[in-house]
Amino acid sequence: MTSFGKIKSKIEFLFESTYRTESFKESIKEFKSHVLDKKNICETYYLYDELTNKNNINESIVDDYINDSFRVIKSHLESNKKDFLELSKWINEKINEEVDNVYVDIDNIVYSKNTVKDLESILLSKNKIKESLLSNTTITENKSLNIPMSSMLKIANKTLSQEYSDLKESEVDEIKRYSLLNKKQLIEEIENTKKIVVDKLRITLNESVDEELNKKIESTIEEINNNTITKHSLYKLKQLEKGL
């Protein structure tokens, strides 16, 4: 099966090469069916984005963030093989040429076989990812080509783009507190936060006349309602709650 990094690279190439054409609309609909409507594929797509963004993550949590992200990615790939195969088949039929894999470092870790050679490659790739996550960059709103890619998976809210940036000591302590929650407490915390965030988003939805923003909000609400129960997802919800 084609690696997810290659799949995602081909999807981005598809959108860039068909943007402002008639086939672009069809590709968006198919993308929604194969990615956005499949919560585990959607989260994997999102995490591949996040692991390549310059997020200025606090150094005290970056290793946990990377490890947790890869744990979630590998779990999704293993438990949703049929959906990933269908996604692979779709994009390979759309783009039958070779495309540069811009996510090769992530793939090196996700698809490693734990041989000595692989371990060396994993270490090198992980260091590159870590270096990028620790880097600072000015986040700007891109209203053109990024719309069908990263931005489609997030609400137009800077909190999601900067979810780990400029963490204060109190925020680091908050993350540590999540790690101490048992399963029942985690579920309760996530459900309570979901309700707060969704209620706030619905208020914005009712007040907004921007059709594009409304679609993003509706997509975000759906993603939140289908969110997996993990400490990682709880942290994302908490950060979104603060930004609304």
In the chain, domain spans: 1-153, 168-244
Q: Are 102 and 52 in contact (CB under 8 A)?
A: yes
Cα 98 to its chain centre, rounded Å, is 24
pLDDT digits (tens, 9 = 90+) for 179-219: 666 777 778 888 888 888 888 888 888 877 777 778 888 88
pLDDT given at position 231: 67
Measured CA to CA in angstroms, residue 168 lies from 33, 162, 172, 192 at distances of 39, 13, 6, 24
- Residue 154 falls in which region: left (phi positive, over 0), alpha (psi -120 to 50) or beta: beta
pLDDT given at position 185: 78
* Both structure tokens of 133: 């996550």
pLDDT given at position 169: 54
Cα 169-174-177 angle, rounded to 5 deg: 130
pLDDT given at position 150: 40
pLDDT given at position 68: 86
* Both structure tokens of 9: 């690279």
pLDDT given at position 129: 85
Q: Is 25 exposed, middle or buried (0-12, 13-18, 19+ CB in 10 A)?
A: exposed
Amino acid at 227: N
Low-confidence ranges of the chain (pLDDT < 50): 137-167
pLDDT given at position 160: 33
